[in-house]
Amino acid sequence: MRYINYNGTIHAEHEQLLPVTNRGFRYGDSFFETMVMFDKKIPLLDYHWSRIEYTAEVLAAQLPKRFTVESFQHMLLDLALVNDSVTNARVRLHFFRKGGGLYLPDDAELGYTFSIDKIENNKFETGDGLKIGVRDDCWKPVSMTSDLKSSNALMYVLAAQLAKASGWDECILLNDSESISEAIQSNVFLVKGDKIVTPHLDSGCVNGVMRSYLVSMLDDEIFEEREVGVKELLEADEILLTNAVRGIQWVREYEGKVYGNNKAVELTALLNSELKL
């Protein structure tokens, strides 16, 4: 049996805890944070927590009382213990606004739930390479909420369906200017010669934790944030996809072109070294 934490208390995963009046269910008035746990510790936890606080501020919501980064770490270890003493896991922390109301909420405080899924690796790995494609008929809008990890994920669901039907491992999403925004689960980086390029936040991409950390690692002389066109995918020497759980993944194939992974391997080694994994 698997267990989750719901508002500070451990429950069996199959228990029905959320009412149908829950604002996250009714209006998508919720957000989430996905993290990785290696050896019972979360790399880049400060980055995750900063994004949680920022998201709550944008949504005019209040984090739960007595819910701190320290209390979360203690609760996470307790949850790992009852889930077969898991040490390496994917962690999903989900916040939802309490109370009722229609579009206008009548309560600012957030409730929360989090769960863990066991993984085998205890550090970031580049993987075997991904095959990707582009969804060009469902654009991501650019707004003040574009960079948040909102629970409104219909666009990503549609992209995932297309990816499965097309035999892709990941799918690139475009914004309403028809330039690259992000992938379903990742931010996008292109390696072109000695330069590394990624779409700027004005592209509508989620402000990913791994994206932020990688940007802080890269020298300004080789790194650039700007608008990135779809045609640049075929012009790139490497395509890197980043997120907080998988680290830096490399693209093996797009539109028949086969890519290398030298920069992906180099940056993953640096990442693991910097984080002491």
Asked, for residue 238, whether it belongs to a domain, the answer is yes
pLDDT above 70 covers a percentage of the chain that reads 100
Single residue among 61, 96, 118 that ends a domain in this structure: 118
Single residue among 66, 93, 118 that ends a domain in this structure: 118
Q: Residue 264 in contact with residue 248, Cβ under 8 Å?
A: yes
Residues 197 and 144 in one domain: yes
Q: Which of 97, 103, 114, 94 is nearest to 60 (CA)?
A: 97
Residues 248 and 150 in one domain: yes
Q: What's the pLDDT score for residue 27?
A: 94
Asked, for residue 124, whether it belongs to a domain, the answer is no
Q: Which domain holds residue 49?
A: 3-118
Residues 145 and 104 in one domain: no
Single residue among 67, 83, 118 that ends a domain in this structure: 118
Say which CATH number the domain at 250 has.
3.20.10.10
- What whole-number distance in Å separates Cα of residue 84 and Cα of residue 100? 37
220 band by pLDDT with thresholds 50, 70 and 90? confident
Residues 181 and 56 in one domain: no
Residues 10 and 53 in one domain: yes
Asked, for residue 123, whether it belongs to a domain, the answer is no
Please enumerate, as own/partner, the contacts of 161-167 that have beta carbons within 8 Å and a separation of 24 or more. Answer: 162/133, 162/135, 163/133, 166/133, 167/131
Q: What's the pLDDT score for residue 221?
A: 86
pTM recorded for the entire structure: 0.94
Residues 189 and 221 in one domain: yes
- What whole-number distance in Å separates Cα of residue 35 and Cα of residue 171? 21
Residues 109 and 143 in one domain: no
Q: What's the pLDDT score for residue 116?
A: 97
Residues 178 and 247 in one domain: yes
Q: How many domains does the chain have?
A: 2
Say which CATH number the domain at 82 has.
3.30.470.10
Q: What's the pLDDT score for residue 131?
A: 98
Asked, for residue 125, whether it belongs to a domain, the answer is no
| DSSP string of the chain, one letter each residue | --EEEETTEEEETTS--S-TT-HHHHH--EEEEEEEEBTTB-TTHHHHHHHHHHHHHHTT-BPPTT--HHHHHHHHHHHHHHTTT--SEEEEEEEEE-S-BSSSBS--BEEEEEEEEE-S-SS----S-EEEEEEEEEEEP-STTTTS-BS--HHHHHHHHHHHHHT-SEEEEEETTSSEEEESS-EEEEEETTEEEEE-GGG-----HHHHHHHHHS-TTTEEEE---TTHHHH-SEEEEEETTTEEEEEEEETTEE---HHHHHHHHHHHHHTT-
**CA 142 centroid distance within chain:** 18
Write the pLDDT tens digit of every residue in 43-88.
Answer: 999 999 999 999 999 999 999 988 999 999 999 999 999 999 999 9
Q: What's the pLDDT score for residue 219?
A: 86
Q: Residue 41 in contact with residue 48, Cβ under 8 Å?
A: no
